Amino acid sequence: MHLHEEVTANKADGYKPAIAHRDFKSKNVLLKSDLTACIADFGLALIFQPGKPCGDTHGQVGTRRYMAPEVLEGAINFSRDAFLRIDMYACGLVLWELVSRCTVQEVSR
């Protein structure tokens, strides 16, 4: 399932709300033995229920290095979509770290 997607209930599966992680960073991406990536540490996550406002939430939580500039400047209205975009900014930084810090190594067989 996708983190930000809201999935409606059906006979086989239950309802899954949209979730904003709010502390997405490289240390919170774990690799399984088959090299499948998993997201961890949902301690600061927000769950968005349909038809309900996200409430009075403080947006400046998590790791500063991965926060979007508009969050650091306090120039954003914290709505559901804003929280999801903030996660995507952090995901972009993690992908940038991946491509800029990893090297391809030859494997001899």
Q: Residue 61 belongs to what H/E stretch? A: none
Q: Residue 45 belongs to what H/E stretch? A: none
Q: Report the alpha-carbon distance of residue 3 to residue 1 in Å, rounded.
A: 6
Q: Report the alpha-carbon distance of residue 44 to residue 61 in Å, rounded.
A: 7
Beta-bridge partners for 46:
20
Residues catalogued as catalytic: 23
Measured between alpha carbons, how far is residue 9 from residues 4, 45, 106 in Å?
16, 21, 46
Closest C-alpha to 23, from 55, 57, 56, 60: 60
